[in-house]
Structure 1
Amino acid sequence: MSQTFETLGRPLPPAPSAFSPAWRHVLDRPLGIRTELDRMRRQAPFYDATVDEIDGRRIRIGDHWLTDFASCNYLGLDLDREIIEAVPAYLDLWGTHPSWSRLIASPRPYDDIERMLAELLGAEDALLLPTITHIQHSVLPALVGRGALFVELHAHQTAHDGAAMVASRGGTVARFREDRLDRLDRLLRAAPHPRVICVDGVHSMTGNGPPLDELLPLARAHDALLYVDDAHGFGVVGERGPDESSPYGSRGNGIVRHLGAGYDNLVLVGGFSKAYSSLLAFVACPTEVKEYLKSAAGPYIFSGPSPVASLATGLVGLRVNERRGEALRARLHRLTSRFLDGLRGLGLGTLNTSGFPIVEIPLLDADNADPLGRFLYERGVFASVVPFPVVPRDQVGVRIQITAANTDDEIDHLLAVLGEAGDRFPLVAASGPPDPG
């Protein structure tokens, strides 16, 4: 034991490889298109970082303080005192973790959240699982079976991973582009049943929404199910109406309600890990589909559940949303508009045409991704540098995510740093104002 305490804080000698020479090829295998991502992960300070302290949206990495614009906590509920202070009571009631798989038993908060979710979304029912990754890998294959899955080319990587699961189980998989729905129409005509079309809601890179007004009629015409992954829209955007506090809409009930669509031929997938800062995800669907998924989706049967603190923050967060969500979304919209207006003032462009709080600024030269990230880091801005192949080469750049917990001073500092960056690393020029809705 004394030897253990004596060595604390000292660098340990490198351990011998646990892999025998016969297995070295696993670690030495070329990473192909992910080589650049791996290099940046190993070398860049803005990747794979250990955060030692937070203060609001300020973070400390080692002795370096930065403002966090890589957070997905859009409503700032990760820092909300009402939610934080509510957690201990749930721990006293339920312990730290229920441990049962959901097939065996679920604590009462699961039922409460599913009921509140269905009402908020205007859906018939909802099923909770720990993460959207769990859902993509299990629900997509369960819905498609040996039918046909059509995945939008720029959908989240987890959807493409789910597509690989579909293919491995005998389903047919094809990709399509949202700007070429005529090709999707032709593919659907020849596809076996069941047919599922998978798209992002609010896109995780561009911040833009899908063309639901075109996709839903297409899905219904071909008796296909439209599967919408709204990880970044749920909690942020919602139904439109005269009493909305901002162009993001009211209630935060997602992109489907925001665009005025319904749930016929549509399944909505979303998560609490963004706007609600909690480890939960859901499928909004008819009750008959929910009951089917309880036996068909592996995570419901075999996975451990979300910890009690996540159930608590999800449940209390939904109650906070009912009382204070509109004010938080109004603040989020104001800060995002301030940032987008500032970008235009600098002559800088973005892929964002929606005005939603995900703003990617592409580089003219993709090789500048690493230097740009280091430049921002050194000047106190922590942001997501997005290299190829995470995005196409012509979209490589920096992704900024605004939250309601950011401040006006932080937005001003970000704009000042981006102005300097634009002089040093040519960024895409502005082409026009974003649509505020």
Structure 2
Amino acid sequence: MSQTYESPDLPSSPVSALSPAWRHVLDQPMGMRAELDRLRRHAPFYDATVDEIDGRRIRIGDHWLTDFASCNYLGLDLDQEIIEAVPEYLDRWGTHPSWSRLIASPRMYDDIEHTLAALLGAEDALLLPTITHIQLSVLPALVGKGALFVEVHAHQTAHDGAVVAAAHGAAVARFREDRLDRLERRLRTSPHPRVVCVDGVHSMTGNGPPLAELAALTRAHDALLYVDDAHGFGVVGERDPAASSPYGSRGNGIVRHLGETYDDLVLVGGFSKAYSSLLAFVACPTEVKEYLKSTAGPYVFSGPSPVASLATGLVGLRVNAERGDAIRARLHRLTSRFLDGLRGLGLFTLNASGFPIIEIPLVDAAQAEPLGRFLFERGIFASVVPFPVVPREQVGVRIQVTAANTNAEIDHLLAVLAEAVERFPLVSVPQARAGD
């Protein structure tokens, strides 16, 4: 399926010198972000305009590339059953009933929340537009003037939420999941409410946290464990001897995958990755859901998710129930094909889970841009992750496999990486860094 957008011929706006008010904004020092700004302006693999898609092939200008930067893990963005179902909902609801959720919500919200809670095995669920909205509003609402502990490798939006929480009076600290003894000492003396925030699946390594240890620790100290499962939801699920792949069954998230319960645990997830839709959720007790309806800003003030996104999520849940495990089995086969090939090249990755996020680190962080250009020129569109997006020692290229990729595309990527090994200082297995 090829989809092309033709840009209309629009008159160009006149370019004029910026006023002093704008110059004061732009003359502020960018600090570490200056390097990211330079890459954004000059590297073809950043801030790109995609002109056409054909399966997992994309066209940027005159360049056709295979997309390994997408998080559409299940390939539902290209699923014809979902695409063909959306117009029915648009006919019924229009494009965007623009109430805040506090005022009113289309029936689809209730349908998704009930279906989602049953899938997750949680008491209830609350839908909001994005996980970013949730981090910036729900985290501060939960912790109040208590204590918030955010794992150092948690997603940047969680740290942004911590800034908001601190501004509202919370005591905020960072911790490392491999130093839980230090977290325990802090929990003993911290004020209530206490909230500990971690990623469910880390967005660079693809690995999960020590969830059982964290859950036991937080429960012992009357704290809430807040798990951001942006990447895991839809891919990993409850373990079952009859499961079609090691990812488990049903795609109902990292909590079920690791055999934990929702006792004193808040699960946050999104539809924007596995389900290819603009929608996110908080899984929590019903009484907490009612509390958040009055205290979480996006529920009170924000515009809702578009009808097309709600429809995509609702039909996607149906597709997941009917054939999601078969899709995940294909995703696992493709990911294993890539990981096996990567090991065959002698390259190192922190991925120990088999999850379809695979980072290949660089010995020399300065080689990130040349490596990105090398891949781009050979038809590979991947996430080059530079400093300061990650620490210098974690700079590398991140590959995301989806069920819509093909064996041929995986093999082409491996062939390009085999060529890259000869030209760039990629970390090989014997070079793996101390502590990795």
TM-score per shorter chain, which class?
A: over 0.9
Deviation at 1:432, TM superposition (A): 11
Please name the residue that 1:370 is paired with: 369
Distance 2:160 2:59 in 1: 34
Q: Which residue of 1 aligns with 2:360?
A: 361
Alignment partner of 1:81 is 2:80: yes
Per-residue CA deviations over 1:235-260 (Å, capped at 9, x if unaligned) read 00000011100000000000000000
**1:48-87 residue pairs with structure 2 within 5 A?**
48-87=47-86
Q: In the alignment, which residue of structure 2 is the partner of 1:196?
A: 195
What secondary structure does 1:226 align onto?
strand
Amino acid at match of 2:339: L
Greater alpha carbon shift after TM alignment, 354-363 vs 23-32 = 23-32
2:153 pairs with 1:154: yes
For 1:369 and 1:355, locate their aligned partners in 2 and report how far apart those are by CA, in whole Å.
Answer: 24
Structure 1 pair 361–148 and aligned structure 2 pair: CA distance change class (3 A): same
Cα deviation, residue 166, structure 1: 0.3
Give the equivalent residue in structure 2 for 1:4: none
DSSP 3-state at the match of 1:424: coil
1:146–1:408 Cα change, 3 Å: same
What displacement does 1:30 show? 1.5
Deviations 1:7-39 (A, max 9, x none): 9478x5861134x22551210111111111111
1:287-322 CA-partner distances (Å, limit 9, x unpaired): 000000000000001000000000000000000000
Query: How far apart are the structure 2 equivalents of 1:89 and 1:360?
Result: 40
Partner residue, 2:204: 205
**Residue aligning to 2:275:** 276
Offset from partner CA, 1:78-117 (integer Å, 9 cap, x none): 0000000000000000000010000000000100000000
TM-score by length of 2: 0.96
Distance 2:96 2:206 in 1: 34
- Deviation beyond 2 Å, 4+ runs, structure 1: 7-10, 20-23, 430-433
Equivalent residue, structure 1, for 2:428: 429
| Distance change >3 Å, CA 9–CA 134, structure 1 → 2 | closer
Give the residue type in structure 1 aligned to 2:104: A
**Secondary structure class of the residue paired with 2:429:** coil
CA offsets, 1:161-189, max 9 Å, x none?
00000000011000001111111111111
What is the aligned residue count? 425
Which residue does the alignment assign to 1:172?
A: 171
Distance 2:191 2:66 in 1: 50
Q: TM-score, normalised by structure 1?
A: 0.95
Name the counterpart of 1:3.
Answer: none
2:226 maps to a residue whose letter is Y
Q: Which amino acid aligns with 1:211?
A: P
> Which has the larger displacement, 108-117 or 390-399?
390-399
- Taking the TM superposition and a 5 Å limit, the aligned residue runs for 1:231-246 are 231-246=230-245
- For 1:55 and 1:120, the matched residues in 2 are separated by 32
Q: How does 1:320-399 map to 2 (within 5 A)?
A: 320-399=319-398
Match of 2:306 in 1: 307
Q: Counterpart of 1:216 in structure 2: which amino acid? A: A
Aligned to 2:401: 402
Distance, in Å, in 2 between the alignment partners of 1:99 and 1:85 is 24
Helix, strand or coil at the partner of 2:37: helix
- Cα deviation for residue 430 of structure 1 reads 2.4
Write the deviation string for residues 12-70 of structure 1: whole angstroms up to 9, x where unpaired. 5861134x225512101111111111110010000000000000000000010000000
In structure 1, distance between residues paired with 2:132 and 2:112: 20
Distance 1:264 1:127 in 2: 17
The residue identity in structure 2 corresponding to 1:205 is M
Spell out the pairing of 1:103-122 with structure 2 (5 A cutoff): 103-122=102-121
Distance 2:404 2:14 in 1: 42
What SS is found at the alignment partner of 2:32? helix
Higher mean C-alpha displacement, 249-258 vs 179-188: 179-188
Aligned to 2:5: none
C-alpha distance in 1, partners of 2:159/2:322?
Answer: 37
CA distance 1:93–1:431, shift in 2 (3 Å) = farther
Deviation sequence 1:339-382 (CA, Å, 0-9, x none): 00000000011111111000000000000000000000000000
Q: What SS does the corresponding residue of 2:328 show, helix, strand or coil?
A: helix
In 1, Cα distance between equivalents of 2:213 and 2:303: 38
Quick one: distance in 2 between partners of 1:329 and 1:8?
43
The yes-or-no answer on 1:267 pairing with 2:266 is: yes
Q: Distance in 2 between matches of 1:370 and 1:216?
A: 40
1:390 Cα offset (Å): 1.5
Paired amino acid for 1:307: P
Matched, 1:98 2:94: no
Q: 1:422 to 1:9 in 2, by over 3 A?
A: farther
List gaps (5 residues or longer) in structure 2: 1-7
Structure 1 spans left out of the alignment, 5+ residues: 1-6
Cα distance change of structure 1 residues 13 and 253 upon mapping to structure 2, 3 Å threshold: closer
Distance 2:102 2:234 in 1: 28
**Inter-CA distance 9–124: structure 2 relative to 1 (3 Å threshold):** closer
- Partners of 1:431 and 1:315 in 2: how far apart? 47
Residues 14 and 425 from structure 1, CA distance in 2 versus in 1: closer, same or farther, beyond 3 angstroms? Answer: farther
* 1:123-174 CA distance string (max 9 Å, x none): 0000000000000000000000000000000100000000000000011000
CA distance in 1, matches of 2:13, 2:129: 38
Partner of 1:17: 17
Q: Tell me how far apart the structure 1 counterparts of residues 412 and 225 of structure 2 sit (CA, whole Å).
A: 41
